């Protein structure tokens, strides 16, 4: 299976240097959510190996978000985000075929709530 580029990655490529740091985070969250949705679809279709690859891609995005945290400027919020990202990475890394759909749903819910809050900050 060839893994297609996410819509978020296409937007980042097209907009390039016009994006604010806030918008980049929004797009990274979109990309992670897109990968998790794709992984869930692959699991439902019985394609566990493909789902695992897509979860790995989501983990990579979440790792990138985690590594970008600025603990000096972000204070307590950065610490909370670090904890959340660490939890999501562990859960996705440990997901098995029998728990995959639950872990994906849980991860999507948490990232979706984070994304909604992030989007509200831009408004």
CATH number at residue 74: 1.20.120.340
2 pLDDT band, cuts 50/70/90, is: low
76 pLDDT band, cuts 50/70/90, is: very high
Given a contact cutoff of 8 angstroms between Cβ atoms, the answer to whether 74 and 81 are in contact is: yes
In the chain, the percentage of residues whose pLDDT exceeds 70 is 96
Given a contact cutoff of 8 angstroms between Cβ atoms, the answer to whether 106 and 91 are in contact is: yes
Better-scored residue on pLDDT, 119 or 19: 119
Helix (H, G, I), strand (E, B) or coil at 97: coil
Say if residue 1's pLDDT is above 80: no
Residue at 2 is within a domain = no
Closest CA to 108 of 50, 48, 54: 54
Total domains in the fold of the chain: 1
Domain containing residue 66: 7-122
């Amino acid at each position: 299976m060839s893994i297609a580029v996410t819509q978020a990655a296409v937007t980042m490529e097209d907009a390039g240097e016009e994006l604010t740091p806030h918008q980049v985070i929004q797009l990274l969250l979109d990309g992670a959510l897109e990968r998790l949705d794709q992984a869930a679809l692959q699991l439902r279709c019985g394609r566990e190996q493909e789902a695992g690859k897509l979860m790995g891609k989501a983990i990579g995005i979440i790792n990138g978000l985690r590594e970008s945290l600025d603990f000096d400027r972000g204070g307590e919020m950065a610490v909370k985000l670090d904890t959340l990202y660490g939890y999501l990475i562990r859960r996705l890394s440990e997901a098995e075929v029998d728990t995959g759909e639950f872990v994906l749903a849980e991860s999507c819910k948490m990232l979706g709530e984070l994304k909604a809050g992030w989007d509200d900050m831009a408004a």
